[in-house]
A and B are shown apart, each in its own frame.
Chain A
Amino acid sequence: MSTENSSPEKGYLDMDLLRFTTAGSVDDGKSTLIGRLMYDSKAIFEDQLESIENTSKQRGDEHVNLALLTDGLRAEREQGITIDVAYRYFATPRRKFIIADTPGHIQYTRNMVTGASTANLAIILVDARKGVIEQTCRHSFIANLLRIQHVVIAVNKMDLVDWSEETFNKIRSDFQKFASRLDNIVEISFIPISALKGDNVVDKSTNMPWYNGPTLLYHLETLYVGPDANHVDSRLPVQWVIRPHSDQYHDFRGYAGRVAGGVFKPGDDVVVYPSGFEAKVKALHTADGELEEAYSPLSVAMTLDREIDISRGDMIAKPNNPPTVGQDIDAMVCWFSDKPLNPRGKFLIRHCSKEAKALIRDVKYKVDINTLHKIEGDNQFTLNDIGRITIRTASPLCYDSYKRNRVTGSFILVDANTNETVAAGMIR
């Protein structure tokens, strides 16, 4: 498989999409990096620049403070911190990018898990003066847990270590020692940068002639990310049943959903789970006409060759490759609520288009995300804790392991009293 995208410039209509998340601790220059990427790739508009120039001047900052571009809420600007996951957009002639920008303080784990859940790549910032620290390990662990396959270690503030190759190499070897335990990460790149001065972000640095690799943006533009989606196990979670009740489409029953894996074609044998009813695909409809095949992440409406009872929450799959259908779930969860997890607590589980009551059966262990050690015998999950639990659901779920499919292997837990999302889960 080639690691570079061969066509240098594409038309807007052929551009693909890379979603990435940025992780770093407080003061490592993450907002500055994102500001720099957007500024140097000309995604910043004059009025935005003018507004941050004014604010920088008012605050007496020495440089135009690029971090102000991304700190959106009033409290953030006042306190100089980032509160919540924010999404940023920019495009180059090669690719369109969506950045999930996550903050580096207390709510960190919750926010990074959220940002990582939809990303294909993670940029982890390391302060060149500090090297690989606890936070670096924590960020990498979360990227790995959420199954982000590509990681960039951006060694920032190289200007403050005299652009030292030795420092950079030490950080690289320290990280590599630790990274051997991260089994989901397929590829790791190391890039020495200065977000403040712009070195190796968009433009190649003249201060580090010893570095022959790509700049950060070039790497993001050309990295082959491949189909993140699973094209093997065919899955269509039914979201909605389309019934037009019109003369022209009198008997039309379209099972609408977004393909979560594999490929469906007209004529395919399919099975509806959990009922087990069998049918053949009659057609794959969209408003633009019928499709010859449907695959992830396309939204379609499927019709079948016979009438069977199908509703929201059901899963359409193929007979030789069914999802697991069951009520006992073994999963890694990240706890999001201020209210601690109560073993034997009751929640609502949301998985694909299904909602069911769920009971926490057992806490197997928690993970110390700074050392990656398992903590056994401590069943108290509090905000930002990660660990392994088992759940019993009131009705069966149709699922795959998260390693195999990020859509059919993930769920959230909702507190039925407050309606808040209290946990994110990845099925083992």
Chain B
Amino acid sequence: MQDYSVTHLKQLESEAIYILRETAAQFERPVLLFSGGKDSIVMTHLAMKAFWPAKIPFPLLHVDTGHNFPETIQYRDDLVAKLGANLVVGSVEEAIKDGRVVEEKGPNASRNMLQIQTLLDALEEGQYDAAMGGARRDEEKARAKERFFSHRDEFGQWDPKNQRPELWNIFNGRMAHGEHFRVFPLSNWTEMDVWQYMKAENIELPSLYYSHERDVVIRNGTILAVSEFVQPRDGEKVEKKRIRFRTMGDATITGAVESDADTMDKIIEEVAAARQTERGNRADDKRSESAMEDRKKAGYF
């Protein structure tokens, strides 16, 4: 008898493509959230596959904190050009200038919370009714309960106790005016799956993901790259280290790891051996045990 078995990566790919097509079909104005991180790069790749040979039928939205690594922006612009995709940028910098948000003060200030308002503004401005994100359920405890199609009320908030049940592969994206959905096609992927898939698909990544030498400071146990946004404070010493990044976020809070992994294979080896979750070195999650849940309820992606 013919063998119709399907490997788990192929199943995950098929599922993600199914979700992306469902989103395009069920919503009037969907948008794909693009951060420049590896998960959003994989999402964009899957969107390309889902609608091939047509172009991706929705824009990419980048919520720009203004604290970017230049490599991220270069990569983003090259990718958009290659795919012929439509890019929309929501700027935290402008939101601060317009007075829509107020920059946090104090030694550990970050623009992470400001992204929420900027994102909600960008969604409202573009009248987007579904925002697709690359979040995975294995990332963090609060995310383990997230749906593929996650309903947000008219204030953009998530109500974890009142989520719609999701059965089989039937997704209910109906909503009232002013509400929207977050859609997570990679829900069932793990960090390892993402890496293995990128390798299998030959997906190119921003150079920041690979080991390189950089000036860094160590702050609260997190290795931060020295840049125009991160300057050494009193008592901090600038060191040169071989590092790479495991996630791509705001340059002021995204911690690096010391690593010699300069190829995809070496990174995969490292991920397999890793004893820390990838969010483990994000200062934003360390604030409290429920940090992620609180941000999600407020509208974080």
**Real binding pair:** yes
A-side residues, CB < 8 A to B, are 12-17, 45-48, 51, 55, 70-75, 77, 83-89, 91, 96, 98, 110-111, 113-114, 117-118, 227, 229, 231, 239-240, 242-246, 248-249, 252, 254, 256-258, 263, 285-288, 295-299, 301, 312, 336, 348, 350-353, 406-407, 410-412, 414, 419-421, 424
Query: 16 interchain pairs (CB within 8 A)?
Result: A15-B8, A73-B293, A74-B290, A83-B160, A87-B187, A88-B144, A96-B193, A111-B165, A239-B22, A244-B54, A258-B17, A286-B49, A412-B172, A414-B172, A419-B172, A421-B167
CB-defined contacts of A229 to chain B, threshold 8 Å: 4
**Known contacts A45-B280, A98-B188, A239-B22; A117 and B8 CB within 8 A of each other:** no
- Is the Cβ of B52 less than 8 Å from the Cβ of A286? yes
What 15 additional pairs, Cβ within 8 angstroms, besides A13-B7, A45-B277? A72-B142, A72-B145, A73-B293, A74-B293, A96-B190, A117-B168, A229-B4, A240-B21, A240-B25, A258-B169, A287-B48, A348-B174, A350-B172, A419-B172, A421-B166
Q: State whether A16 touches B8 (Cβ < 8 A).
A: yes
Shortest B253–chain A CB gap in Å is: 16
B141 is an interface residue with CB less than 8 A from chain A: yes
The residue that B190 contacts in the complex, of A89, A297, A351, A410, with Cβ under 8 A, is A89
B192 touches A91 (CB 8 A): yes
Contact B160 A84 (CB under 8 A): yes
A77 to B142: give the CA distance in the assembly, Å.
11
On chain B, the residues within 8 Å of A17 by CB distance are 8, 11
Contacts of A245 in B (CB 8 A): 54
Question: Which chain A residues lie closer than 8 Å to B86 at the CB level?
Answer: none
Residue of A nearest to B137 (CB): A87
User: What is the interface of chain B, defined by CB distance below 8 A to chain A?
Assistant: 2, 4-11, 13-15, 17-18, 21-22, 24-25, 48-55, 137-138, 141-145, 160-161, 163-170, 172, 174-176, 187-188, 190, 192-193, 196, 200, 274-277, 280, 289-290, 293
Report the bound CA distance from A256 to B172 in whole Å: 19
B7:A89 contact, CB within 8 angstroms: no
Tell which of B13, B160, B174, B289 touches A51, judged by Cβ atoms closer than 8 Å: B289
- Assuming the contacts A15-B7, A89-B190, asked whether A411 and B14 have C-beta atoms less than 8 A apart, the reply is no
Residues of the A chain whose Cβ atoms lie less than 8 Å from the Cβ of B24: 240
Complex CA gap A348/B174 in Å reads 11
Report the nearest A residue to B191, measured CB to CB.
Answer: A89
CB contacts (< 8 Å) of B161 on chain A: these are 75, 83-84
Does B8 contact A421, Cβ atoms closer than 8 Å?
no
Of all chain B residues, which has the CB nearest A17? B8
**B145 contacts A85, CB within 8 Å?**
yes
Q: Which residue of the partner chain A has the closest CB to B285?
A: A47
When the two chains form their complex, are residues B25 and A353 in contact, meaning their CB atoms are under 8 A apart?
Answer: yes
CB of A110 within 8 A of CB of B7, answer no
**Complex: A87 Cα to B168 Cα, angstroms:** 14
Query: How far is B27's CA from A307's CA once the two chains are assembled, in angstroms?
Result: 26
Known contacts: A13-B196, A312-B25. The answer to whether A412 contacts B49 by CB under 8 A is no
| A231 and chain B: residue at smallest CB distance | B4
Q: Which residues on A sit within 8 Å (CB–CB) of B8?
A: 15-17, 96
**CB-defined contacts of B18 to chain A, threshold 8 Å:** 239, 258, 299
Q: Is the CB of A410 within 8 A of B145?
A: no
- Which residues from chain A contact B14 at a C-beta distance below 8 Å? 258, 297-299
A96 to B9, CA, bound (A): 10
A351 / chain B contacts, CB cutoff of 8 Å: 170
Contacts of A96 in B (CB 8 A): 8, 190, 193
CA distance A338 to B121 in the complex (A): 34
Taken together as a complex, chains A and B put the C-alpha atoms of A246 and B13 apart, in Å, by 26
- Distance in Å: Cβ of B84 to nearest Cβ of chain A: 10
Across the interface, do A87 and B169 meet the contact criterion of CB distance under 8 Å? no
